[in-house]
Amino acid sequence: MSKCCLYCRVDGASTESNCLAINQQLTALRSLAGQLGFSISAEMLQYESGLDANRQSIRTLIRDARHGVYDRVLVMNGDRLARDAEGLAAIGEKLTAAGVRVYCSDGEIDLAPAYSHGYFRVATMEQTM
């Protein structure tokens, strides 16, 4: 059985409305973990901006993944990890290197850098020519 971390984040302080938003994320992700058959080994609840892809919570997420605490991360959507494509790609590269796959309610999130898809398309086109 895969072990997962539930990663919940809201931008801002721990206000009543942000606590409610975090709890809604947590409830949804617990349900998703059950649907996917994953055991929950960690829950991270963060009240911080997603603009810094090297923030402490992400470093902890990656460190724990490298130590085998979990091999799956569940998020509501990719912007919970990072607010821009560059940050998400950097985080994705590190999680992928640690053997971690990331999921949301729509399924697995492809964290490969956007440029890698372009190289694949060019290589595929060259093979068919």
> At 15, which CATH number?
3.40.50.1390
Strands 107-108 and 101-104, sheet pairing: antiparallel
Task: Please state the domain count of the chain.
Answer: 1
How wide is the angle at C-alpha 88 spanned by C-alphas 84 and 93, nearest 5°? 155
At 31, phi and psi to the nearest 5?
Answer: -65, -45
pLDDT in tens, 34-55: 999 999 999 999 999 999 988 9
Residues 6+ apart with CB under 8 A from 14: 47
Choose between 126 and 17: higher pLDDT.
17
pLDDT in tens, 65-123: 999 999 999 999 999 999 888 899 999 999 999 999 999 999 999 876 555 545 444 44
Range of the domain at 46: 3-128
